[in-house]
Amino acid sequence: MTFKLSRNQFFLFLFIAQTGTVFLSFQTPLVSATGPDAWLVFSGVGIFHYILLLLYERNYEYFKPGPFVSWMYKGYWLLIIVSFISYIDYTLAVWAFPETPQIIVISIMVGISLYANLSRAETVINLSVILLPLIPIFYIILFLAWPDFVWTNLFPIAKIDGSDLLKGIIASQFTFIGIELFLFFRKHVDSKQKVSGIPLFIYQMLWMFFFLSSVLFSLLFFSLEELKMIPEPIMYILKSQAVALVERLDLFFIFLWMMWSVITISLFAFTTIYVHQLHAKGHRKRNTIIFHILLVIFPLFLRSKEHVDMIQNSLVYFHLFFVIVVPTVVILMNRRKKK
Amino acid sequence: MKRSVAILLVCSLLLGGCWDEKQYKDVTVVSLVGIEGQLGDIKAQFAFPIFEDGSISYSTSLGSGTTLREARNDANHRTKEGLDIASLQVVLISEETAKSDLYNYLDMLYRDPRNRLGAHMAIVQGELAPYFKPSADVGNDISSHYTELIDTAIKYTFIPDINLQKTCSTLFAKDLSLSLPYIKIDKESGIPEIAGTALFSEKKFTGKTLDKKESIIFNLLRTKQGRYTRFSYMWKSGGKVSPLTVEVNSIHKDWDISNNKINTFYKLKFSVEEFPHDSLDEKKTVKEVEDFLSKELTKDFTKVIHKLQDAKSDAVGFGRPVRAFHPALWEKGDWTDTFSELDINVEVKAEITRNGILN
Amino acid sequence: MMDDAVSTDSLILYIKKTFHNSSDLFVEEMEWQNGPAVVCYFTTMTEGAEVNLQLELIRKRAADGLTDWGRTAISSVHAFSISVLTESISIGFVAVIFPESNLLLQIMMPKFVLRSPNEPENEHVIRGPHEGFVEGFDANMSLIRKRLAIPNLVVQTLRLGNDTQTLVNYIYIESIADEDVVANVKRRLESIKSNKVISAGQVEDYLEDSVWSPFPQFLNTERPDRVVANLLEGKIAIFTNNSPTALIAPVNFFSFYESPDDYNARVLVGSFYRILRILSFMTAIFLPAFYIAVVGFHSEILPIELSKQVKLGVNEIPYRPIFEALLLELFIELIRESAIRLPTPIGQTVGIVGGLVIGNAIVDAGLVSNFMVIVVAMTAISSFVIPSWEMNMTIRIIRFPFMLAASMFGFFGIAIGTLVLFIHLMNVSSLKQPYFTPIVPFDPAKFKDVFFRSPYVRLKKQQKTFTHGADKEGGDH
């Protein structure tokens, strides 16, 4: 499987993989832990994200995972996809499909990923393009809530203690998930196009703007106590907006988010299969199908919200391991080898 | 591909309907809900249109139960189709019910994903039943009567513009007290009408209300204007008497918060709508009118704030900047108590910028 | 077998036998200056008087002692062979055989009935040329050459189908067209192994990358100006001899939404109607599905004033919305299908009777709600807006899966359907070139042309690969 990415394709790929399912769910735990300081905490975490990107950009050439490390990553991504799928399914069940059997909704979503992954590589890479016109609309409608924003909700600041700060940082780690794809796909970017420097900074700013604004919106729109009861604050903001033509914009956007998430899943599935094919020769079609069957089966074991939450909570620690520890080890080992 | 499409086609024809299908013809669209009773014994009234033979008529149904959901299911037994409150327009809550924790009644409306959050809220005086079947003729569709009543009142700054979402948001806010439109039935005409604003303190209705003029001033205190904000006074100056109606064009507030005192300064810009005395082209008269308005308004504003303090209801939102920027004052104790005893000074300065249709 | 011993009589008999004594075959012996000659041709394909004139001319040239007496603008001399003989006669040439010298004189003067190049019925334009192709390649080619007086315009001819001997011509501009694509077309045309090649549609099936895709990968047109505009963009046009339709490839999805009218109208006007057409794609596919989803699943999105009207409309309908929709859609398809076959005045009557009378009665009878009639009618109109007939049909077909998905899962079904459609559009290729091109792979320079008709025409090549930066079909696996 050989393919080349343009700079824009690469960053779009990364952005959609990082935002996907997460942007609906991470605000509530973050704000619950840190209160009005959430936006400050998140700004700080954003700097960490940028540092990580810079380190990745400097060292990606040395990142050559062997079969064992690849298998670990594959397991990790499987866990991510499964937790995403079960979260999507749970959310859809709450918002739209309480009666429809879980397996049907899951199979349909995984079916899309399967179809995309059986097509040529470019199809998966470009899948995110369909979201490009929709994301601005989504944002404009969020801004309709502007008159209802309570600016004093952002204060008082710096009232937070150490353990809450740690909880907040952990909660905001969900927005990092997918950053490791940078290491895997960076070498496919057209070498004529510059990535380091300004383009990387622009990407960081986009990422920051997207997540920070969603934190700000949730803080500004809801009172703190209320926010703790609402698992998907962004959807509630949309729900309370009335546009002349239709009521209930949230219903459109829950499905926009579903599309977004399905694409994120396809991207992760694509990455998993791509990494698998680096070491396994041939049988791409067969492996793709087997992998997707696993994706249908595993979420079925996560029947309740508790299971979904448990997986989600443990995901953060896996994530830290795979984003910081493993790349560091692999890069250092390869550097030494080169010397 | 073709085969699978064919299979899907056959399936969809065979299935009577899919799992979550909710045919529109099988639901009754409730547009008005009334809640009364106490927690554990809730009575709920529902008003909805009935469609028959190509025409619309309106009906109501009463249900009771431990929770609002149970009350709705109870009411379902008396209607042809299932009651669907997804496109709710107005929620009426009886005075007595609102005197206990309001959120207990609203949780089902607020956190049901199917539900609409833009519904208007109002507190009604006395029993609910006459509000659903008023003795006077207010048209068939009782819910649209309330919707338009409230919309118009908001336009004229009589009541705060607050919907279900903002109600619940405010109920959970510690730095702001809730205020809802207050509706009563006029004794002579029998028509439900806007009576003013109901004041809440810590999720509970205080029993105290603001009348219409106080409500306007209350909204100005919050600097939340509707499209029109009008005041009328009898202007007296040196033996001259003249009726005076002014419209507020803009309002600017400035709060100076210190540890034991809040000084508030409001600057209002008016245009004169009605002033038979005229001669507003003279600077002297304009000055006189401005001074008169400043004095009267300062008096009225102060009165409203005292009333709010009496009710222990910080519906204006003094608590917001206090919580954000004045931790010492905020942490003195429970904010509603602090507020009710706080020294709040009001100064209003009126300025006439336009003469309206005169001159 | 042909030697001096064979008399002209036996030759005549032999030819008659070859053509099974067909009564329109003319075979006669005539005198030539140094011996007998046999003239044969189909009287139905060649004018006898013209033959006489040509023969007189050639006879005179022979008498003048010219060495190349048989070679004129329309005639040539070959060594005699039976296969050349039968072929020339079948095509409509005149064959003159000289048994003495064992030569065969071929005079190319077939006469066919051709329509005049009227504007094609299904591709009307308001402004611009009103010419259309006819059922003969020479006439068609003359219409193209008339517009493109350049030496780079190349015609290549193949003869396909053992039984039909159909001429298939593909034309391109050498300096602009991509040579890989040209070679690809040639290879695919040559690999057609069929005894009967009759129509352009048949050739299209053989040439397409994915036959099962609902989307047409060739642009069919009968307009010379459209062909020329496309040739100038580096595309290839394929003609089958007896069809007025040119197949143009490689094309992208948005080519089907462009009409020659856009470039004849003013810039703003042209752009407006182009955007309108693209939007009509949305309504044609999604509108009925959206309505079904709303009525079946998400009625809460309707504002209360509208919701009462909708409820009033659907309250007494006995069937599920999907039935209503299918009933009406099939009904409209029936009207359309019957109106095509009927002569114009009757076709209009059918349209009026079907559309107005039955449409009204079906609502009164309570089978279908009036909102559904509005939705289906709007959908039908938006699908007719598309300037290309095949794309029109495609759009009409693919909205049925969307309706089914919406009736089963509401908006979820529509969202899933959209993803599937999008992935499919990214997978489709036209002669191995990406089909969804200005969008995926994204090409900002051409992207605006999807929605706006730019003030002047710049010649652009078709996007070649799916892969960023690769020169060849790198992304294909």
Cβ separation B165–A95 shorter than 8 A:
no
The answer to whether C24 and C42 are in contact (CB under 8 A) is yes
Return the residue in C467, C472, C473 with the most chain A beta carbons within 10 A, the one to mutate for interface testing: C467
Q: Which residues pair with B179 in a beta bridge?
A: B199
Confirm whether B13 is domain-assigned: no
Backbone angles phi, psi at C36, to 5 degrees: -80, 160
Calculate the alpha carbon distances from A176 to A9, A91, C126, C160 in Å: 19, 21, 57, 61
pLDDT in tens, C268-314: 888 888 888 888 988 999 999 999 999 888 888 888 888 888 888 88
Q: Which residues pair with B163 in a beta bridge?
A: B120
C137-147 helix and C224-232 helix, angle to the nearest 10 degrees: 60
A134-143 helix and A198-221 helix, angle to the nearest 10 degrees: 40
Mean pLDDT of C385-405: 88
Share of chain B above pLDDT 90, in %: 15
Mapping DSSP to helix (H, G, I), strand (E, B) and coil, where does residue B210 land? strand
Residues of C with Cβ-Cβ distance to A7 under 8 angstroms: none
Token representation of residue C9: 């009589």
Residues of B with Cβ-Cβ distance to A242 under 8 angstroms: 118
Which residue type is seen at C383?
S
pLDDT at residue C461, as a whole number: 61
Strand-strand pairing, B261-274 and B90-94: unpaired
Return the residue in B101, B169, B224 with the most chain A beta carbons within 10 A, the one to mutate for interface testing: B169
CATH number of the domain encompassing residue A108:
1.20.1740.10
pLDDT at residue C3, as a whole number: 47
Nearest to B317 by CA among B192, B173, B112: B173
How far B253 CA lies from chain A's nearest CA (Å)?
16
Of A120, A251, A284, the CB nearest to C476: A120
Confirm whether B16 is domain-assigned: no
Token representation of residue A331: 């890069």
Q: Which residues pair with B255 in a beta bridge?
A: B264
Which residue type is seen at C238?
I
Residues of A with CB under 8 A from a CB of C: 1-6, 8-9, 92, 96-97, 100, 105, 108-109, 112, 115-116, 119-123, 126-127, 129-130, 190, 192, 244-248, 251-252, 255-256, 258-259, 262-263, 284
Token representation of residue C177: 């067209």
Residues 6+ apart with CB under 8 A from C159: C165, C166, C167, C168
The answer to whether C173 and C155 are in contact (CB under 8 A) is no
B33: part of which helix (H) or strand (E)?
strand B32-38
Cβ separation B169–A224 shorter than 8 A:
no
C-alpha to C-alpha distance for A100 and A92, rounded to whole angstroms = 10
pLDDT in tens, C221-232: 999 988 998 898
Total number of domains constituting chain B: 2
Check if B170 contacts A (Cβ < 8 Å). Answer: yes
Which of B162, B187, B210 is the C-terminal boundary of a domain?
B210
Token representation of residue C386: 């598309």
Q: How many CB atoms lie under 10 A from the CB of residue A222?
A: 27
Rounded to two decimals, the ipTM of the complex is 0.91
Check if B222 contacts A (Cβ < 8 Å). Answer: no
Of B20, B163, B320, the CB nearest to A152: B320
In eight-state DSSP terms, residue C217 is: S
Domain of residue A85 covers 7-338
Total number of domains constituting chain A: 1
CB pairs under 8 A between A and C: 103
Residues 30-89, chain A, touching B (beta carbon < 8 A): 36
Q: Which residues pair with C78 in a beta bridge?
A: C104
Confidence band for B137, pLDDT divided at 50, 70 and 90: confident
Strand-strand pairing, C153-160 and C166-173: antiparallel
Give the residues of chain A that fall short of pLDDT 70. Answer: 1, 303
Which residue type is seen at B221?
L
Q: Residue C47: is it exposed, middle or buried by C-beta count within 10 angstroms (0-12/13-18/19+)?
A: middle
pLDDT at residue A269, as a whole number: 94
Which of B210, B244, B265 is the C-terminal boundary of a domain?
B210
Mean pLDDT of B17-29: 78
Query: For residues A241, A247, A252 and A257, what is the CA-based torsion angle, rounded to 10 degrees?
Result: 20
Q: What angle do CA C176, C177, C178 make, to 5 degrees?
A: 120
Residues B29 and B125 in one domain: yes
Question: Mind giving me the DSSP string for A86-124?
Answer: HHHHHHHHHHT-SSS-HHHHHHHHHHHHHHHHHS-HHHH
Sorted by where each begins, the domain ranges of chain C are: 8-107, 137-251, 262-451
The answer to whether C313 and C361 are in contact (CB under 8 A) is no
Mean pLDDT of C58-82: 85
How far B11 CA lies from chain C's nearest CA (Å)?
10
pLDDT in tens, C153-174: 999 998 887 777 788 899 999 9
- For residue B9, is pLDDT > 60? no
Check if B168 contacts A (Cβ < 8 Å). Answer: yes
Residues 6+ apart with CB under 8 A from B132: B32, B34, B45, B47, B60, B142
B114: part of which helix (H) or strand (E)?
none
C-alpha to C-alpha distance for C434 and B143, rounded to whole angstroms = 56
- For residue B261, is pLDDT > 70? yes
C475, closest residue in chain A (CA to CA): A3
Q: How many CB atoms lie under 10 A from the CB of residue C356?
A: 10
Q: Touching B: which chains, 3+ CB pairs < 8 A? A: A, C
A92, closest residue in chain B (CA to CA): B113
C-alpha to C-alpha distance for A54 and C315, rounded to whole angstroms = 62
Residues B231 and B139 in one domain: no
C-alpha to C-alpha distance for C247 and B263, rounded to whole angstroms = 82
A284-301 helix and A249-279 helix, angle to the nearest 10 degrees: 130
Residues of A with Cβ-Cβ distance to B174 under 8 angstroms: 223, 225
Residues B268 and B346 in one domain: yes
**Residue with tokens 């290309």, as numbered in its chain:** C388
C-alpha to C-alpha distance for B242 and B278, rounded to whole angstroms = 9
CATH number of the domain encompassing residue B263:
3.30.300.210
- Measured in whole angstroms, the distance separating CA A228 from the mean position of its chain's CA atoms is 22
Which residue type is seen at C153?
L
The answer to whether C314 and C374 are in contact (CB under 8 A) is no
C-alpha to C-alpha distance for B32 and B122, rounded to whole angstroms = 11
Residues B50 and B192 in one domain: yes
- For residue B122, is pLDDT > 80? yes
C364, closest residue in chain B (CA to CA): B54
Q: Which residues pair with A201 in a beta bridge?
A: none
Of B87, B172, B325, the CB nearest to A225: B172
Mean pLDDT of C59-73: 84
Token representation of residue A62: 């040395």
Cβ separation C411–A256 shorter than 8 A:
no
Confirm whether A2 is domain-assigned: no
- For residue B14, is pLDDT > 70? no
Q: Touching A: which chains, 3+ CB pairs < 8 A? A: B, C
Calculate the alpha carbon distances from C154 to A207, A283, C141, C203, C229 in Å: 53, 44, 11, 20, 15
pLDDT at residue B11, as a whole number: 58
pLDDT at residue B173, as a whole number: 87
Radius of gyration of chain B (CA): 25
pLDDT at residue C477, as a whole number: 39
Return the residue in B4, B19, B102, B106 with the most chain A beta carbons within 10 A, the one to mutate for interface testing: B19
Q: Residue A166: is it exposed, middle or buried by C-beta count within 10 angstroms (0-12/13-18/19+)?
A: exposed
Residues B198 and B292 in one domain: no
Radius of gyration of chain A (CA): 20
User: Which position has the higher pLDDT, B267 or C7?
Assistant: B267
SS (H, E, C) A13-79: HHHHHHHHHHHHCCHHHHHHHHHHHHHHHHHHHHHHHHHHHHHHHHHHHHCCCCHHHHHHHHHHHHH
How far B320 CA lies from chain A's nearest CA (Å)?
6
Q: How many CB atoms lie under 10 A from the CB of residue B330?
A: 18
The answer to whether A174 and A22 are in contact (CB under 8 A) is yes
Nearest to A49 by CA among A158, A173, A164, A168: A173
C-alpha to C-alpha distance for B35 and B97, rounded to whole angstroms = 8
Confirm whether A71 is domain-assigned: yes
Q: What angle do CA B106, B108, B111 make, to 5 degrees?
A: 100
Residues B203 and B266 in one domain: no
Domain of residue B74 covers 22-210
User: Which position has the higher pLDDT, B55 or A69?
Assistant: A69
Residues of C with Cβ-Cβ distance to B84 under 8 angstroms: 299-300
pLDDT at residue B241, as a whole number: 83
